[in-house]
A and B are shown apart, each in its own frame.
Chain A
Amino acid sequence: MEVLSLLGQGFAVALQPINILLVFAGALVGTIIGMLPGVGPINAIAILIPITFALGLPAESSIILFAGIYYGSQYGNSISSILLNVPGTASSVVTTFDGYPMAQQGRAGPALAMSAIASFFGGTLSIFFLIFFAPLLSKLAIKFGPAEYFVLMIFAFTALSSLTEGNTLKALASALFGLMLATVGLEPQGTTVRFTFGQLKLYDGLDFVVLVIGFYAVSEVLNILSETQVGGEVRKLTGRVMISLKELTSSLWVMLRSSISGFIIGVMPGAGATIATFIAYSTEKQIVDRNNTFGKGDIRGVAAPESANNSAAVGAFIPMLSLGVPGSGTTAVILATLLSYGITPGPLLMQNNPDIFWGLAASMYVGNFMLLILNLPFVGLFARILLVPRWVLMPIVATLSFVGVYSVNNSAFDILLMTAFGFLGLIMRKTGFPLAPVILGLVLGELMEVNLRRALNYSNGDWSTFFQGPIVIILWVLTLASLLLPLALRRLTKRAKPGKLQGE
């Protein structure tokens, strides 16, 4: 019963007044930004990083806040899918398939209620899995040396690249570009300065916050500006946000299966919440769709993706926390935050910083209960935010980006840098190069180089160290498999429409 006492310790952290407040803030912000098309959790977290530093929050509090934004966005994203037919984030694209038809039929209430309940179901069930599996994986990872870590990171990149929507080669190019950006500045454990072009401000490397805000938030503002908008009509929320017991019981097995598959997919580096929703939906279509009602307003078609994406969002924390290798853009940003506190996630995290792991797990329970309340009785209030015109919303995103970037170093140079990367991000979006691998590369670049050098130091420069030992071999096999997997997956998700939104 060691787990229970540790979890109790976690609740002692999560239930501190400041942390309760932060979970609530995370849930609230997460629901809102999840709901708003074009603003994803990465933007919100990147903008908040300098603020958490300014407030002097301890590491566990920052993580509790950021995680709350991430899983909170998985609740909110279905609101616009259902009412607007526009997914709030990429992981609620699937929710539009049945959610919007339900709204058209005047059943927006049950759809929203189902979405909140399924999110809660997936969100809380997966925390059990997190508590169970993360320590196991940590025990395994404790045997990892630098060579293992180096190959593991290669696996993280190939998995993310092959599972990102679109061309795998382009995703690999994005990842390599991110790694190159990480080499700017003073080299790790060395004296040589690289790629600074004589700019003193670049000696410390490119600031992570500046880059992420530029790449995601600024390029998104420019991207929305570049599209002549076809204004969607917001469906009125008619009737109460309730579902009948029959609708709920019909979805029970759907939610259970989707939560389990969503979690497994979430743990896999690179896969993440979006793919989890596509797989859950197509699986359930094959299992329960006997009368061919999926896509025409079947409530189970809402239950499947919404339980899957919340479960996957929690699962995504496992590789980040227990291996120190994130598998998605959002968890990469959270990892970068921990690193800047001087905390290196990995197998020793649970021993050295139990408050972070168990506090986070406990806070997820608290957060999910808050989200259930926010998204059931109060969903009507949130739906009104969709009526706020874009000429108010977009300037807010732009201005928050400025303040976030400026407050990092009080430097106007950073605003120029942010603008340049915002433009580059726009070009990459338009030409189909995914942004998440760039962020992952930027975060992992230094760790990767350090592990490469360490491994070669141990082996006296013998490169065969990367091909010796069972763990390394398994990781190489996984790397190869990840490059072949998309062919199989593409067949599974062929029916589903390609996601237009990036960033999860």
Chain B
Amino acid sequence: MSDRIAGIVILIFALWYGFGASRLKAGFGSGPIGPKNFPLMLALLLALVAIAIIVTGSSFKPKWPKRENWLDIWLVIASFVAYAYLIVPIGFIAATTLETGLVSQRFGAKWWQALATGFGISVALYALFVWVLGVSLPIGRIFRG
């Protein structure tokens, strides 16, 4: 059953993608085939595969996470998003300590272990990347004064 649902989702995606492709306009000098032909081919093929998945079905049963695990997943995803917005304002070390600490805590660490892990990892990586590899990472706007 779940395969059929996936097939329907894929079919809708293929149609949506194909519709987007069909509205593309060719620029100059595109040759016999323009920018839309290849995407249209892909959309057609994916639609066919989706229909085949819907028609054949299968006994495949996905192993969905339990509710408390879903909570963990959403929390970690939310923290990733927060991280993307925090890294520049509060800097790499502070943001990474918080983020890594949270992930560590969700994987079963006690809060002080998590914080120590987070701080240790972020300082070690900052040192490795900035001082050894010469990659620039944000120091944090709030520390610039």
Contact = CB atoms under 8 A, between A and B. Distances in A.
Contacts of B45: 176
B85 A399 contact: no
Given A176-B46, A416-B84, A430-B64, A394 B24 contact: no
A169 B56 contact: yes
B76 A456 contact: no
Contacts of B12: none
Contact of B117 (A395, A400, A431): A395
A407 B69 CA distance: 30
Contact of B103 (A389, A394, A412, A431): A394
Contact of A395 (B56, B103, B137): B103
Interface stretch (A6-14, A76-84, A95-103, A190-198): A190-198
A225 B42 CA distance: 34
B145 interface: no
A415 B31 CA distance: 37
Contacts of B3: 167, 170, 431-432
B63 A430 contact: yes
A179 interface: yes
Interface string A41-71: 0000000001100110000000000000000
A456 B84 contact: no
A222 B10 contact: no
Contacts of B43: 180
Interface string B79-111: 011011101100000001001110111111100
Contacts of A221: 76, 103
B142 interface: no
A456 B30 CA distance: 11
B121 to A, nearest CB: 5
A177 B42 CA distance: 8
A402 B99 contact: yes
A452 B2 contact: no
A428 to B, nearest CB: 9
Contact of A399 (B46, B65, B100, B136): B100
A84 B90 CA distance: 41
A176 B17 CA distance: 12
Interface in B8-64: 10, 17, 20-21, 24-28, 30-35, 37-39, 42-43, 45-46, 49-50, 52-53, 56, 58, 60, 62-64
A224 B104 CA distance: 12
Interface size bracket, A side = 35 or more
Contacts of A449: 38
A4 interface: no
Contact of A402 (B10, B34, B83): B83
Interface size bracket, B side = 35 or more
B84 A432 contact: no
A10 to B, nearest CB: 27
A395 B39 contact: no
Given A399-B96, A431-B6, A392 B117 contact: yes
B56 A226 contact: no
B50 A173 contact: yes
B113 A391 contact: yes
A156 interface: no
Contacts of A55: 133-134
Given A391-B109, A396-B121, A456-B32, A225 B84 contact: no
A456 B33 contact: yes
Contact of A228 (B28, B64, B66, B87): B66
B107 A395 contact: yes
A188 to B, nearest CB: 9
A415 B106 contact: no
B85 to A, nearest CB: 7
A169 B129 contact: no
B137 to A, nearest CB: 7
A105 to B, nearest CB: 32
A460 interface: yes
- Please give me the 5 A-B residue pairs with the lowest Cβ-Cβ distance, nearest first: A191-B27, A461-B32, A391-B109, A226-B65, A415-B84
23 contacts: A54-B133, A169-B56, A173-B49, A192-B34, A194-B35, A194-B39, A222-B76, A225-B72, A226-B73, A227-B65, A389-B109, A399-B125, A400-B125, A402-B83, A402-B96, A407-B135, A412-B84, A412-B85, A416-B81, A419-B81, A422-B77, A452-B37, A460-B32
Given A395-B101, A452-B38, 10 more contacts: A173-B46, A173-B50, A180-B42, A192-B25, A194-B35, A226-B69, A228-B66, A228-B69, A392-B109, A430-B62
